[in-house]
A = this chain, B = another copy of it.
């Protein structure tokens, strides 16, 4: 947690947070010296999908930072009280008005440096009625050779696309994770 001395305790409002390992814990936590409240930090979950329609794959051009103007898969933060699969379906609709059906899990990626876990599904786009949602400038269906490889928003988009292709070619259902 950045700028710890500028932050306030959620529980008591005092400005006396420190980093300390609580008794019996294995990790350093953010603790309030006034009320002893522990402010746990947790990795976040991104859920999304590689959606295909015939031989084409759905991509969305980002309308928001980070990486505004670059292409990504429909994906985003999992919400409270939502299953991972529901989150992936919701993101496809929010970003591209795409109606999809989850086929199976494709990959889990651990982006340790930003404490983000990505859970990416293989999905079928149910029809071609797509249009840009509020977070997209543009959406489109791309054949493998039409994918804008040099304009992808994130490295993990490239991983997911390659893993999708790899699975198609190998016909196994192994779940991928970070490439070596």
Q: Which residues of A contact B (CB under 8 A)?
A: 7-13, 15, 24, 26-27, 39-45, 77-86, 94, 104-105, 108, 110, 112-113, 115, 117, 119, 134, 172-175, 177-178
Contacts and interface: CB of A to CB of B under 8 A. Distances in A.
A59 to B, nearest CB: 21
A81 B112 contact: yes
A175 B105 contact: yes
A75 to B, nearest CB: 15
Contact of A8 (B12, B44, B79, B117): B12
19 contacts: A8-B8, A8-B10, A8-B11, A8-B13, A9-B10, A10-B10, A40-B77, A41-B80, A42-B42, A42-B44, A42-B80, A43-B79, A45-B117, A81-B113, A82-B110, A83-B177, A105-B108, A108-B119, A172-B173
A9 B8 contact: yes
